[in-house]
Chain A
Amino acid sequence: QSALTQPPSASGSPGQSVTISCTGTSSDVGGYNYVSWYQQHPGKAPKVMIYEVSKRPSGVPDRFSGSKSGNTASLTVSGLQAEDEAYYYCSSYAGSNNWGVFGGGTKLTVL
Chain B
Amino acid sequence: EVQLVESGGGLVQPGGSLRLSCSASGFTFSSYAMHWVRQAPGKGLEYVSGISTNGDTTYYADSVKGRFTISRDNSKKTLYLQMSSLRTEDTAVYYCVKEVGITPRLRIDYWGLGTLVTVSS
- Please give the residue numbers on chain A whose beta carbons come within 8 Å of chain B beta carbons, in ascending order: 1, 3, 32, 34, 36, 38, 45-48, 51-52, 57, 89, 91-93, 98-105
Q: How many of chain B's residues touch chain A, expressed as a range?
A: 20 to 34
Number of A-B contacts (CB under 8 A): 64
Does B113 sit within 8 A of A, measured CB to CB?
yes
Chain B residues whose C-beta falls within 8 Å of the C-beta of A45 in the assembled complex: 95, 111-114
Does B102 sit within 8 A of A, measured CB to CB?
no
Residue interface mask B52-90, A partner, CB < 8 A = 1: 000000010110000000000000000000000000000
Q: Are A51 and B47 in contact (CB under 8 A)?
A: no
- Please give the residue numbers on chain B whose beta carbons come within 8 Å of chain A beta carbons, in ascending order: 35, 37, 44-47, 50, 59, 61-62, 95, 100, 104-114
5 sampled A-B residue pairs with Cβ under 8 A? A45-B95, A46-B45, A47-B111, A92-B106, A105-B45
Cα distance, A45 to B111, chains bound together (Å) = 7
